[in-house]
């Protein structure tokens, strides 16, 4: 078998209802060109029958399909990294298994890469998501740019293309809390973006609930900027100065007017407000300390249960 030119990495988590159609459409899209390719499907600890289905799909195209089974759920980005560490192609495509990004768009990204870019990100056109998901994404993209200056128009789109050299740089970083699209954009020499189609989910449910989305945002925030800590440092200095003036004011008022009991509840409100800010600041500081703790333990980012690879390479 020729060495693949294109590697498609697809993380899979409880997507048994979509796997057959995913296989048919990805194969059909890639077979339209004579460029050699491989498909790496990474089972991120699925609880449905994705394990058996993936094994059966691999038997249909054993020289082109490789399967990686995790022994638990390590997250989408770790599933991608497992695939990245085993790709053999020069251009690497990432794709979701839910078919919201049509596989038929793959060669549009490949063509743009062949123009000289080392990273191409997809921008979902006419997003088929809920009102909350669409506008939360807009706000999140704006915040990310303001905090990190990384110009990702759509960080939630999984249809992306990477040059092999860029993948090697990300593998060498060895970070455990890794936000791949932003990391690739930062390391890229010639990034580009392209609008891609976005369909409604065919079946099943989104694996990103509100909690997971919040965790993802904390990942990129703590991975790429110290701005939250710096904001709370400046806020702390400002409140300290304001409190000093307030103490002087209360002291002079007591001397001039005498003891007062009015305003006790106002003082309680101010105290609780300041306590809330302090706890929020401690929480953000804890996020950064937690990231450091994860890195210094040097635990494996993921654990592989089984690899099915009949490529003989």
CA nearest to 92, candidates 157, 175, 163, 17: 163
Residue 213 lies in a domain: no
- In this prediction, residue 167 carries a pLDDT of 94
The residue-averaged pLDDT of 230-248 equals: 75
- pLDDT, residue 278, reads 79
Mean of all residue pLDDT scores within the chain: 83
Same domain? For 88 and 179 the reply is: yes
Backbone angles phi, psi at 84, to 5 degrees: -60, -40
Q: Of 207 and 171, which is predicted with more confidence?
A: 171
Question: Do 185 and 138 fall into the same domain?
Answer: yes
Are residues 173 and 41 part of one domain? yes
Q: Do residues 203 and 246 both lie within one domain? A: no
pLDDT per residue as tens digits for the range 75-105: 888 999 999 999 999 999 999 998 988 999 9
Label residue 260 by pLDDT band (50, 70, 90).
Answer: low
For residue 283, the model assigns a pLDDT of 77
Q: Span 254-277, mean pLDDT?
A: 71
Q: Is residue 214 part of a domain?
A: no
Q: pLDDT-based confidence at 53, cuts 50/70/90?
A: very high
How many domains does one find in the chain?
2
**Bigger pLDDT: 189 or 145?**
189
Residue 121 and residue 194 share a domain: yes
In-domain check, residue 252: yes
The per-residue pLDDT for 92 is 97
Residue 114 dihedral angles phi and psi, to the nearest 5°: -70, -10
Residue 118 has pLDDT above 70, yes or no: yes
pLDDT of residue 51: 95
pLDDT at 257: 75
Asked which of 23-32, 55-64, 83-92, 149-158 is least confident by mean pLDDT, the reply is: 149-158
Look at residue 97 and tell me if it is in a domain.
yes
Domain with 87 in it: what CATH number? Answer: 3.90.550.10
Higher pLDDT, 65 or 239: 65
Residue 217 in any domain: the answer is: no
Closest CA to 62 of 35, 38, 30, 87: 38
pLDDT (0 to 100) of residue 275: 78
- Split at pLDDT 50, 70, 90, the class of 16 is very high
pLDDT value of position 117: 95
Q: What is the mean pLDDT of residues 277-283?
A: 78
Query: Is a pLDDT exceeding 60 seen at residue 1?
Result: no
- What is the pLDDT at residue 199? 82
Q: Quick check: 271 pLDDT over 90?
A: no
Residue 69 lies in domain:
6-207+301-308
User: Same domain, yes or no, for 252 and 111?
Assistant: no
Q: Quick one: 197 and 268 in the same domain?
A: no
Q: Given this model, what pLDDT does residue 265 score?
A: 61
- Among 259, 308, 312, smallest CA distance to 65 is for 308
Lowest-confidence segment of 90-94, 222-226, 234-238 by average pLDDT: 222-226
> Do 111 and 51 fall into the same domain?
yes
Residues 105 and 197 in one domain: yes
Q: Are residues 242 and 194 in the same domain?
A: no
- 10, pLDDT greater than 90: yes
Q: Give domain status of residue 221, yes or no.
A: no
Lay out the sheet containing 191-197: strands in order across: 191-197, 119-125, 160-163, 91-94, 6-12, 37-43, 65-70, 304-308
Do 103 and 143 sit in the same domain of this protein?
A: yes
> Is 216 inside any structural domain?
no
> pLDDT grade, residue 193 (50/70/90)?
very high
Asked if 49 and 121 sit in the same domain, the reply is yes
The dihedral through the CA atoms of 50, 52, 53, 58 has a sign that is positive
């Amino acid at each position: 078998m020729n060495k693949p030119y294109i590697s498609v990495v697809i993380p899979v988590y409880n997507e048994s209802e979509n796997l057959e159609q995913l296989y048919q459409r990805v194969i059909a899209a890639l077979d339209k060109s004579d460029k050699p390719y491989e498909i790496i499907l990474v089972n991120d600890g699925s609880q449905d029958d994705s394990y058996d289905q993936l094994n059966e799909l691999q038997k249909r195209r054993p020289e082109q399909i490789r399967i990686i089974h995790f022994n638990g759920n390590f997250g989408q980005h770790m599933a991608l990294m497992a695939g990245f560490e085993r790709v053999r192609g020069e251009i690497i495509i990432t794709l979701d298994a839910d078919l919201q990004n049509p596989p038929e768009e793959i060669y549009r990204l490949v063509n743009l890469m062949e123009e000289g870019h080392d990273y191409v990100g997809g921008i979902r056109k006419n997003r088929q998501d809920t009102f909350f998901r669409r506008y939360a994404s807009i706000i999140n993209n704006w915040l990310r740019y303001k905090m990190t200056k990384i110009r990702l128009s759509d960080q939630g789109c999984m249809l992306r293309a990477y040059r092999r050299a860029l993948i090697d740089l990300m593998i060498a970083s060895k970070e455990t809390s890794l936000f791949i699209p932003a990391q690739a954009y930062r390391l890229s020499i010639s990034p580009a973006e392209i609008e891609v189609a976005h369909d409604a989910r065919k079946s099943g449910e989104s694996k990103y609930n509100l909690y997971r989305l919040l965790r993802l945002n904390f990942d990129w925030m703590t991975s790429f900027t110290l701005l939250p800590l710096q904001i709370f440092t400046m806020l702390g200095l400002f409140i300290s100065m304001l409190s000093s003036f307030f103490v002087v004011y209360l002291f002079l008022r007591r001397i001039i007017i005498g003891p007062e009991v009015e305003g006790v509840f106002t003082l309680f409100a101010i105290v609780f407000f300041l306590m809330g800010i302090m706890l929020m600041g401690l929480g953000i500081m804890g996020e950064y300390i937690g990231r450091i703790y994860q890195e210094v333990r040097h635990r494996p980012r993921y654990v592989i249960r089984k690899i099915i690879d009949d490529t003989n390479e």
